[in-house]
A and B are shown apart, each in its own frame.
Chain A
Amino acid sequence: MKRNGINRWAKPAAITGLIIILAILPLLLSSPYLLHILILTFVYVVGAMSFRTITISGQFPLAHAAFMGIGAYTAAMASRYLDWPPWITIPAGALTAGIIGIGFGYPFARLRTLYYAMGSLFFGVAITYIVQSLKVTGGYVGLTKVQPLFSTVSRVPYYYFFLGLALVCAVALYRFEFSRIGTNLKAIAQSHLLASSVGINEVRYRVLVVAVGCFFVGLVGAAFAHYTPIVTPSTFNLSATLWLAMYVMIGGMNSFAGPIIGTPILYFIPQYYFSDLRAYSPFIPAVILIIIAYLMPRGLAGLISILKSRYLDKFWGGIKAKEAADAVRN
């Protein structure tokens, strides 16, 4: 579709501005706690983006944080027991999550909507239980003494590492979604019968998107294992998955920017400014979600395009609507 004047510049400008601000942020701020929260925000942004990538195929993956855990534990164990360096353990964690994602995606590709969501939810819970009960994973306590990524106490190198990782993942997932692969996945989500009637192999594509989503969440999970002092099962349990789902839903499921907007608002801001309120955390997103469902059904990212169409596109929109009406009449 043709983009009109302001759209062509607004998006690249906003993205460049955001990257520049994030790149110079550590020079302006020296609070290690703030940097820590920002690093975790980057981790969760990747988690939420890969979550959303799976949802474009109509699958709602409620085992997603468990796959972050698979990546994290793979990297942690490879580092601890085998002494592998991070540059091997991180890809290994991502690949393990992706391969287990294929094994998980294949049988689940027969399920749809609520059945898929419930099935994957129990799969994630099962993984958490397995990790909790094994000795090799450290049980409830988790794994410590994973080799850190950088040998400094400063968080600044970690900040840049995770910022870079989030950018790479964002570009990779964007290219995935806005190619013919993404088109096929969206076609499957709208009507799987129609999609298969034009020759799209539904099962293959649904497994593919799960594998890709799990790969990226495993990648960031594996990197996270080399940052956090301890890898625990509770970091990747059901409630962690539900948080990822909230970041995506509140940001806007139909927009690539959704999780990038939703995660900072729901994670960073409450964590940094209202950390006392986080005890009430299950209630806050519930209330926000209800408000958003009422006021902005397409999420926060949708709000931007609604405002834009209300104010900026009024002129062009009016002309286009008239043309369309004329075309239908003729």
Chain B
Amino acid sequence: MLLEIKDLTKQFGGLTAVNRFDMYIDEGEIVGLIGPNGAGKSTIYNLVTGIYAPNRGRVIFNGKDITRMKPHRVAALGIGRTFQLNPLFPDFTVLQNVSASFHLHPHSNLFDIYFNTPTYRRNEAIIQQRSLEILQLVGLEKVKDDLAKNLPHGYQKMLGVARSLATQPKLLLLDEPLGGMNPAEIDFSLNSIKKMRQQGITIMIVEHNMRILDLCDRVVVINFGQKICEGLSEEVRENKEVISAYFGG
């Protein structure tokens, strides 16, 4: 098991956003986390990555308890993520967005950075090189010198994913990677996600768009902070509770 979430609970005042939630992810899987708006999907991401501290429960990553760990330490252990809103650094160029995300590997210490030592220069050259490779992977190398905030919406989403790849994650948490994309962009994104899996990255996806189900090995459905069903994509599609959560009735 790469990630294990046990009995996770988060309350905001009187509201229980996530209630006794359990799930696991095995290495190499693509797992979907779906549910209506406000079901608690993004809260789960924020609990796993340390932005929120849970009221109860544990998060175990790669055999290590990461509950209440600070976000930058979670990132250093190998959990990358994208954000649904604010997916990128708006005032950086596309290339800077990716190269700024190469904070962890290769890492230069403050002394090397400030005194511009050969180690630092070598690291920066590697970073520039790898940033361009990542931009080629997601097809953004043509706009690498544009400010990120000036990109069209679909490109911004893809840049968000490209940026998170720079942390070289073992587990990547994607937050609505297809939101607001047109069909062509969706095809392209699904393809990029497949490519990432081939590179050995385990992926968890929060998404509304049901086309994501084709990609997932397993799907977890939540509503009102609770898991209502879990299974293979086909099973979930047929599940009555899922249908009622999405369409009412």
Q: Which residue of A lies closest to B86 (CB)?
A: A191
Does A193 interact with chain B (Cβ within 8 Å)?
yes
Contact A327 B89 (CB under 8 A): no
A184 near B89 (CB under 8 angstroms)? no
The closest CB in chain B to the CB of A330 belongs to B142
B131 within 8 A of A: no
For the complex, what is the distance from the CA of A261 to the CA of B124, rounded to whole Å?
A: 32
Residues of A with C-beta under 8 A to B67:
none
Contact with B along A1-20 (1 / 0, CB 8 A): 10000000000000000000
Residues of B within 8 A of A330 (CB): 142
Bound CA span A191–B71, Å: 13
Q: Which residues of A contact B143 (CB under 8 A)?
A: 324, 327-328
Residues 158-191 of A contacting B (Cβ, < 8 Å): 175-176, 179-181, 183-184, 186-187, 190-191
Report the Cα distance A184→B83, complex, angstroms: 18
**A17–B87 Cα gap in the complex (Å)?**
43
Binds B, one of A71-79, A199-207, A229-237, A265-273: A199-207
A198 in the interface (beta carbon within 8 A) = yes
The answer to whether A198 and B101 have CB atoms under 8 Å apart is yes
B residues 128-178 with Cβ under 8 Å of A?
A: 142-143, 145-146, 151-152, 155, 163-164, 166-167
Give A93 Cβ to nearest chain B Cβ, in Å.
22
**CB-CB contacts below 8 Å: B35-67 with A:** 49, 51
Residues of B within 8 A of A1 (CB): 93, 145
The answer for the CA separation of A188 and B88 in the assembled complex, in Å, is 12
A133 contacts B by Cβ under 8 Å: no
Q: B100 contacts which chain A residues (CB < 8 A)?
A: 183-184, 187, 198
- How far in angstroms is the closest Cβ of chain B from A196? 4
Report if B80 contacts A (CB, 8 A): yes
Question: What residues on B are CB-neighbors of A199 within 8 Å?
Answer: 72, 75-76, 103-104, 167
**Interface flags, B92-130, vs A, CB<8A=1, else 0:** 110010011111100010100110100010001000000
Q: Which residues of B contact A186 (CB under 8 A)?
A: 89, 91-92
State whether the Cβ of A113 lies closer than 8 Å to any Cβ in chain B: no
- Tell me which residues from 122 to 147 in chain A have a Cβ below 8 Å from any Cβ of chain B: none
Interface residue? A197 (CB, 8 A): yes
Range of interface residues on A (Cβ < 8 Å): 20 to 34
> Closest CB of chain A to B107's CB: distance in Å?
8
Provide the bound-state CA to CA distance between A30 and B110, in Å: 45
Query: Within 8 Å of chain B (Cβ to Cβ): is A304?
Result: no
Smallest distance from the beta carbon of A194 to chain B beta carbons, Å?
A: 6
Which residue of A is nearest B107, CB measured? A199
Question: Interface readout for A219-245 with B: 1 if CB under 8 Å, 0 if not?
Answer: 000000000000000000000000000
Q: By the criterion CB–CB under 8 Å, are A194 and B86 in contact?
A: yes
What is the distance, in angstroms, from B62's C-beta to the closest C-beta of chain A?
A: 16
Q: Is the CB of A190 within 8 A of B116?
A: no
B70-86 near A? 1/0 per residue, CB < 8 Å: 11100110001101001
Contacts of B91 in A (CB 8 A): 186, 190
**Shortest distance between the CB of A122 and any CB in chain B (Å):** 27
Shortest distance in angstroms between B8's beta carbon and chain A's nearest beta carbon?
A: 19
Among residues of A, the one whose C-beta sits closest to the C-beta of B173 is A197
Q: Check if A200 sits within 8 Å of B164, measured CB to CB.
A: no
Known: A183-B100, A186-B91, A193-B71. 5 other contacts (CB 8 A): A1-B93, A191-B89, A193-B83, A202-B72, A324-B145
What residues make up the interface of B, taking CB atoms closer than 8 Å to A? 49, 51, 70-72, 75-76, 80-81, 83, 86-93, 96, 99-104, 108, 110, 113-114, 116, 120, 124, 142-143, 145-146, 151-152, 155, 163-164, 166-167
Cross-chain pairs A/B with CB under 8 angstroms, 27 sampled: A1-B93, A175-B116, A179-B113, A179-B116, A180-B124, A183-B96, A183-B100, A186-B89, A186-B91, A187-B89, A190-B92, A193-B51, A193-B86, A194-B83, A194-B86, A194-B87, A196-B71, A196-B75, A197-B49, A197-B71, A197-B80, A198-B102, A201-B70, A201-B72, A324-B143, A324-B145, A327-B146
